[in-house]
Amino acid sequence: MNLEQLRKNKKIAILSPVAWRTPPRQYGAWETVASNIAEGLVERGWDVTLFATADSITKAKLHAVIDKGYEEDPSQEAKVVECLQISEIMEHAAEFDLIHNNYDFLPLTYTRLIETPMLTTIHGFSSDNIRRVYHKYKHDSYYTSISDSDRDPELPYLATVFNGIDLSNLTVGKKAGDKLVFLGRIHPDKGTHLACETAQKAGMDLIIAGIIQDENYFNEKVKPYINDKQTSYIGPVGPKERDDLFKKASAVLHLNELPERFGLVMAEAMGAGVPVIAYDRGSCREVVADGETGFLVTNVDEAVEAVKKIDTINRAACRKRVEEKFSIPTMVKAYEKVYAEIFKIEDQKS
Amino acid sequence: MNLEQLRKNKKIAILSPVAWRTPPRQYGAWETVASNIAEGLVERGWDVTLFATADSITKAKLHAVIDKGYEEDPSQEAKVVECLQISEIMEHAAEFDLIHNNYDFLPLTYTRLIETPMLTTIHGFSSDNIRRVYHKYKHDSYYTSISDSDRDPELPYLATVFNGIDLSNLTVGKKAGDKLVFLGRIHPDKGTHLACETAQKAGMDLIIAGIIQDENYFNEKVKPYINDKQTSYIGPVGPKERDDLFKKASAVLHLNELPERFGLVMAEAMGAGVPVIAYDRGSCREVVADGETGFLVTNVDEAVEAVKKIDTINRAACRKRVEEKFSIPTMVKAYEKVYAEIFKIEDQKS
């Protein structure tokens, strides 16, 4: 079957996590990507069922057994709703031609009990321990990575499919803002304190936005910088506030201490025409075109230098890179190719 | 088929948790019971496969994919080894006529994907949230409770099967000891501090044994009593040390703050001829025969009164109650009846 025929004949189930609503109100990277995949597939004519929380918003069919995300409703227990969400899609597997799993490793442990093929987008290895599950089931589920750098060399991957973001929520302002911006989880991994240090050394204002995931870290390493004048913290932001925030930005600082797996925020910033100054770790090199849509640096002093020459970056080029490489249509077209390959392999098996 | 025929023709898989070895070296109630079920079934001629850690000790066939319990090997991640352990038995389900699950709620979420019937011994509801899983799968798995009191009124149970303990590890001393004993997890739920208070008021020595599960509680509420003379803490004990400990006991104090689900330690104490003074909560009334093998009390003052009249309890009667109601053969005979009923129901279905 060609793509057009596959779209007409195959039923796709998208499995989203239930930590947050799909799409999330503010934070929730995996739910964001699952949403973008589901909506993008619907847009291109696929028959899609989204397994997500009951309050989720989608043009696909919604199949829900969990009312609200467990991060949004403390009366729930993560382990309980997680296994109920996953077993639900497995029990309905026969209704679909392909399950596209965006919910980490636990779904893999059900795959030998169902007939329907499953594609797992590996959104990251949260610990080395979980690799063991991916290794056991490497011939039972198809895998894609979200960047070339976030690959386990001993796993088979059908492709790298970059995350695609919703560009309708991001607009390029008439001119660059004059502040530095940190956007993301406040956590040592994300290097919020390095953004503070860079802004201070560069003599620039810094706006920090995002959920505080590590309270101790925030209090000890970030708060001392905050004075609501040069350096302010505005909490988490939804899509609309995020776009307003980018309007104020001359650059986004992404001085991640851990190798980035993909780095949605870098694509979002560039999507709003904002260059990114990122540590050259993990996927950053794949997302940011060094010298063209931002700068890759290895320490705070280099980040300060990058801030000084940020005007040399063409803001239209930032937007263009995202449209070409990190948009929803680009991502969905790439997944369509992966789906087609899976259907071909499955046909040959039977 | 009668029982003799079932024993010859049916293959049983026992699923044990992988927090600890089966049987555990010291603490590990569910692994203890799973072990006793497996060994008791083998003793009575069943074809049994035990799914447990690779270092487990059993006369059944051992099927293991997890080397060591995650509580004994901090390099492992509970969630990872748990799902690998459970998916392993599910992937081998077709090799068995019955799976007997001693591993909580997660296995239930695989049951609609396998043909083999599963019996789940509900060892307790660790939170109200997990009931939701038991409710969803109440027609997919057979349930037994470990005491009449630990039942959810909206769940169907085939029977209550009391836990059975290994009496070969427990001997009745020639005469009663002269100390009070607390044995169990050091945790507010278990009322360790109430045992201390009771011993002090009764003017008796107290020996405390068990793992410290709540360090803050131990330091704040228990440690102040410890002076290594009247009140001492000796850490966790294995079967041999436990029997020695019971030799020193005039009574075991079990002043649990939460309703007990079963209370293995009460059966163990009585198995060594030691009367039990317990709070009248949950299953305690089912395990201790009030006035015959110990006393049920409702506060510390009543516990002190009970200590004073503990000599009125016949130590042989304690042992006899355990032999009759809480021994491995008693438990296994009860499970044999449950298995026979399940096979009958399944036959009628097909």
- DSSP string for A165-212: B-GGG----SS--SEEEEES-BSGGGTHHHHHHHHHHHT--EEEES-B
Interface probe, candidates A113, A116, A135, chain B, greatest B C-beta count within 10 A? A113
> Is the CB of A112 less than 8 angstroms away from the CB of B105?
no
Nearest CA in chain A to B135: A84
pLDDT at res. B249: 98
Q: How far is A59 from chain B (nearest CA, A)?
A: 28
pLDDT at res. B72: 95
pLDDT at res. B26: 82
pLDDT digits (tens, 9 = 90+) for B198-209: 999 999 999 999
Residues of A in contact with B105 (CB under 8 A): 80, 83
Q: At what angle do helices B328-349 and B29-43 cross, to 10 degrees?
A: 80
Which of A76, A113, A127 faces B114 most closely, judged by CB atoms?
Answer: A113
pLDDT reading at A228 higher than 80: no
Interface probe, candidates B75, B80, B103, B140, chain A, greatest A C-beta count within 10 A? B80
Cα–Cα distance for residue pair B274/B297, rounded to 1 Å = 17
Residues of A in contact with B112 (CB under 8 A): 87, 90-91
Q: What is the ipTM of this complex?
A: 0.90
| Enclosing H/E stretch for A134 | helix A131-136
pLDDT reading at B228 higher than 80: no
pLDDT digits (tens, 9 = 90+) for A147-186: 999 999 999 999 999 999 999 989 999 999 999 999 999 9
Mean pLDDT, residues A251-273 taken together: 96
Interface probe, candidates B70, B79, B112, B137, chain A, greatest A C-beta count within 10 A? B79
> B106 CB near a chain A CB, below 8 Å?
yes
Q: How far is B304 from chain A (nearest CA, A)?
A: 40
The angle subtended at Cα A293 by Cα A319 and Cα A123, nearest 5°, is: 80
Cα–Cα distance for residue pair A97/A347, rounded to 1 Å = 12
Nearest CA in chain A to B76: A129
Task: List the alpha helices (DSSP H) in chain B.
Answer: 3-9, 29-43, 78-91, 131-136, 192-202, 215-217, 239-247, 264-271, 284-287, 300-308, 315-325, 328-349
Candidate from A78-82, B258-262, B339-343 with smallest mean pLDDT? B258-262
Rg (CA), chain A: 20
Strand order in the sheet with A231-233: A231-233, A206-209, A179-183, A249-254, A276-279, A294-297
Cα–Cα distance for residue pair A106/A129, rounded to 1 Å = 13
Q: What single-letter DSSP state applies at residue A259?
A: P
pLDDT digits (tens, 9 = 90+) for A113-131: 999 999 999 999 989 999 9
Q: How confident is the model at residue A229 (pLDDT cuts 50, 70, 90)?
A: confident
* Unique residue bearing structure tokens 């505005």: A234
pLDDT at res. B167: 95
pLDDT reading at B127 higher than 80: yes
Residues of A in contact with B75 (CB under 8 A): 129
Mean pLDDT of chain B: 96
pLDDT at res. B27: 82
Q: Token pair for residue A301?
A: 């002093």
Taking the C-alpha atoms of A136, A141, A145 and A148 in order, what is their torsion angle to the nearest 10 degrees? 70
| Enclosing H/E stretch for B90 | helix B78-91
pLDDT digits (tens, 9 = 90+) for B16-41: 999 999 999 988 899 999 999 999 99
Residues 62-101 of A with CB under 8 A from B: 75-77, 79-80, 83-84, 86-87, 90-91
pLDDT reading at B350 higher than 90: no
Residues of B in contact with A87 (CB under 8 A): 109-110, 112
Count chain A–chain B contacts defined by CB atoms under 8 A.
61
Which of A86, A91, A130 faces B80 most closely, judged by CB atoms?
Answer: A130
